[in-house]
Structure 1
Amino acid sequence: MRAFGLPSALVVAALLSTAIGTFAAPLSQRSPQANSTSALQEREGSPTNSMTYGSDESPKQAHFGRNSVVRGVNLGAWFVLESWQNPSLFLTQDIRSMQLNDEWSWMNAKGSKAQEDLVEHYRTFMNQSDFEAIQRAGLSTVRIPVPFWTFVPTVKPEPYLASRQRKALRDALTWSKQYGLDVVLDLHTVPGSVNGLDNGGRLGEQAFADDPNNAKRALNALSVMTDMFVNNASYGGVVKAIQVANEPKINERLSWSVLQDYQAAALKTIRAAIKPSAPVVPTVLFSDAFQPWSKYDALLPSDAYPTSQIAVDHHQYFVRAWDSRVPKDDDELIDYVCAIGPRIAAAQKKRAVIVGEFSLGRETRCVDYHTCQDVKMSQDVSTLNSAENNKFMRRFFEAQAASYEQGGGWIMWSWKTESAAAWSYSAAREQGWIPDDVSDPAQWLYRPADESQRKALPDGQCITTQPSRSPRFATQS
């Protein structure tokens, strides 16, 4: 998620072939033609397998965000550590006195103990009962953030634990198949990082473009991921989407056009890796990089990027510390949320838009993870569960769901946290801020039950001001 790191590059699109050509040169030496998506496609050539990808009618196309509404959760902090989300890992006795910002610094601080602790974390943080609970909650999808070092070896000085995530990841897909959940495999980190955030592995590093091998390694990770989990029929085709990069930050080190070159190469890589025997052809998710969706209209023409093949991933947070435009007033914030729906609906007409991250948080929690030392979830809930705020939180969730379902759907961040209730779907559901089963229209309190009721709402509103019945919450302070 974008939340808890500090923004700190230029993404260079490396080709799968050994002849990198102009992409290996410094940006100042490259021609506009060499940096264009069309030039990259021309140099790469066509996919090597025989599968037909261009037809929207292909029965193997996942059509993620098109065939049915997406309602899901992220399995954050399982394979990519975030100190605010699982502070206990950062507060063990041997490192408690340190200030560690990310997985890079955590690995270096833990030294020889890192492998033992991480493998245990992978084994225990999520288990089969979580996937069963996700299904009972009426959710359809899990988005699984995974780091590049799951699929390709690390290089010095990268301290990460390579490949040891695979067993737990295999379990995740097996359980997803068992409980009928779709999976988004999200390459949450790439070599060098495209955003400089802690969720990229190393806070302050945005060096993806510094070495063209970074792009080659990222593409290789996508290829291995695809072969390992898309081509393996034993998983039953649960992988419905693959995301090629998380939250790239457009700045002086990452231009929009160069990001597009990488995304084009990633699409080609994934397509080339899928075997004709694969049960499903997953949709490829491109981050909007917090840029206007209109950019995709010009840069992703449907003839080169059929709508069956790609979708746009948008992350939407309402934390004033990040965006001063977010209203302070509760009712104004609900209106602000509802206004997003029509914009998503308009974009959805061109290609699927998935809100791949959002939360109920209006403020950050545990940014300095030391402040959450030994804080229990119930203690955090008690700071948010006044009678008035309980009702607001339920309205806030229902308004976001109503808006985002005007597009392809939503995936909340995250299924669980240790002590940040507004960022934990499971804790929010237990408290009553989220319906127990979001697939049951009868359980919604503020959201219109059908199209006729929705049309009866005043202009600009996406939920009612009064609940359909008295809400019930687990606790109230």
Structure 2
Amino acid sequence: MTRRIHTTPSYAATVGIIQVVNEPQTGRDKGGMPQAEKDTLTQIYYPSALRAVRTAENDLGIPTSSRIHVQYMDTLWGAGDPSSSLPSDSAILFDDHNYVGGAVTATHPNAKQADYMWYTCYIDDRLADGDVPKLVGEWSLTVNAEYSSEFDWKNSANTAFYKQWFVAQQRLYERTDGWIFWSWRTQLNDPRWDYSYLVYKGWVPTDAAGLDASAQQDVCKAYFGTQRRTKRW
């Protein structure tokens, strides 16, 4: 794949990252992930994959400035420390997937809108594992009780929450090196998953300048006022 990217002009102009494994098994999955499996993944497979990419680039004479970034799921994903056996390399990137619904309802099974906002505003930290540089490569506005009246996106009474929660998550993820919403378009026409439908609904800005401006909004203070940060959790 590395050779194909560098020797195909259309790929070389558009592909800058190869991800080694997307969402490997974790301890949260059925059957878990024994430490021995984590060690095999992070201590053997991960450095071998990086070595294969760099060897191909060396063979092609690719300068350091033009090398592909090699991406790994971050430690927060739960499949071990991806950097534990990697050599120093300026073109390594970490991928973070953060679907807040699961994290919130793990401790608050009857979570309300304010619980999601509080978690995003004051609890969540996507840089806690120290894996940098990092992209938040998947996130959404999905909640676990997505069909309840509390979270029915078709009910205009809930629109303000989704708009504010988008900005709260955007601000959180812009502390990293960038973010990608899941997804641009789906067959669901559900703005919690479908960025193009968010745009259509007018829930998010339509250009980069608007997104930059929204990231400057202290939406958490606007939502909670001056409540103590330990009050809800």
State the AA in 1 paired with 2:93.
A
Q: Any idea what the Cα deviations from partners look like across 1:438-474, whole Å, max 9, x if unmatched? A: 4435752xx425xxxxxxx6xxx756339xxxxxxxx
Counterpart check, 1:241 vs 2:17: yes
Is contact 2:50–2:70 with CA below 8 Å preserved after alignment?
Answer: yes
Pairing partner for 2:78 from 272, 278, 291: 291
CA contact (8 A) 1:358 1:413 kept: yes
**Amino acid aligned to 1:311:** L
Gaps of 5+ in 1: 1-224, 366-382, 450-456, 467-477
Letter in 1 for 2:72: F
CA shift, 1:364, in A, is 8.1
Matched position secondary structure for 1:465:
helix
Relative CO higher for 1 or 2, CA cutoff 8 Å, sep ≥ 6?
1
- Structure 2 vs 1, CA of residues 277 and 256 (structure 1 numbering), >3 Å: closer, same or farther? closer
Contact 2:17-2:69 at 8 Å conserved across structures: yes
3-state DSSP of counterpart to 1:436? coil
Q: Deviations over 1:112-147 (max 9, x none)?
A: xxxxxxxxxxxxxxxxxxxxxxxxxxxxxxxxxxxx
- Note the alpha carbon deviations across 1:219-260, whole angstroms, 9 max, x for none: xxxxxx211123334445322211011111133467211111
1:272 counterpart residue number: 55
- Alignment of 1:282 with 2:63, yes or no, is no
Residue 315 of structure 1 pairs with residue 97 of structure 2: yes
Query: How far 1:352 sits from its partner (Å)?
Result: 1.0
Match of 1:78 in 2: none
Residue 351 of structure 1 corresponds to 132
Distance 1:442 1:352, change over 3 A: closer
8 Å contact kept, 1:282–1:309: yes
Q: Is the 8 A contact 1:415 1:424 kept in 2?
A: yes
1:318-329 alignment, distance < 5 Å: 318-320=100-102, 323-325=105-107, 328-329=111-112
Report the AA paired with residue 266 of structure 1. Answer: A
SS in 1 for 2:223: coil
Q: 2:38 aligns with which of 250, 256, 279?
A: 256
Cα contact 1:416–1:427 (8 A) shared by 2: yes
Write out aligned runs for 1:9-158 (5 A).
none
TM-score, normalised via structure 2 length = 0.74
1:3 is aligned to none
Q: What residue number does 2:223 align with?
A: 465
In structure 2, relative to structure 1, the CA distance for the partners of 1:245 and 1:398 (3 Å cut) is same
Residues 239 and 280 in structure 1, CA contact (< 8 A), matched pair in contact too = no
Q: Compute the displacement of 1:268 (Å).
A: 0.9
Corresponding residue for 1:331?
114
1:416, distance to aligned residue in structure 2 (A): 1.0
Q: Is the 8 A contact 2:72 2:82 kept in 1?
A: no
**C-alpha contact (below 8 Å) 1:399/1:463 kept by paired residues:** no
Pair 1:233–1:340, CA change in 2 (3 A): farther
2:184 paired with 1:415: yes
1:166-216 CA-partner distances (Å, limit 9, x unpaired)? xxxxxxxxxxxxxxxxxxxxxxxxxxxxxxxxxxxxxxxxxxxxxxxxxxx
Unpaired runs of at least 5, structure 2: 27-31, 147-151, 225-233
How many residues are matched? 208
Could you say which residue in structure 2 is the equivalent of 1:145? Answer: none
Letter in 1 for 2:56: A
> 1:340–1:316: structure 2 CA closer, same or farther, 3 Å change rule?
farther
Distance 1:416 1:249 in 2: 26
Say if 1:436 and 1:443, in contact at 8 Å, map to a contact too: no
Q: For the Cα contact (< 8 Å) 1:244–1:285, is it kept in 2?
A: yes
Q: Is the 8 A contact 2:104 2:115 kept in 1?
A: no
Q: Read off the aligned partner of 1:255 and give its amino acid letter.
A: E
- With over 3 angstroms needed to count, the CA separation of the structure-2 counterparts of 1:239 and 1:400, relative to structure 1, is same
Root mean square deviation of aligned Cα: 3.3
Q: Which has the larger radius of gyration?
A: 1
Assess if the C-alpha contact under 8 Å between 2:168 and 2:220 holds in 1. Answer: yes
Q: 1:394 touches 1:432 (CA, 8 Å); kept in 2?
A: no
Q: SS in structure 2 opposite 1:354?
A: strand
Instruction: Give the fraction of aligned pairs with identical amino acids, expressed as a percent.
Output: 28
Alignment CA distance shift 1:386-1:364 (3 Å): closer
Match of 1:433 in 2: 203
> Helix, strand or coil: the match of 1:339?
helix
One-letter identity of the residue aligned with 2:216:
P
The answer on whether the counterparts of 1:402 and 1:463 sit within 8 Å (CA) in structure 2 is no
Q: What do residues 296-335 of structure 1 show as CA deviations (whole Å, max 9, x unaligned)?
A: 56x146xx133x1212111110234995235712122112
**Residues 98 and 138, structure 2, Cα contact 8 Å, conserved in 1:** yes
| SS across alignment from 2:72 | strand
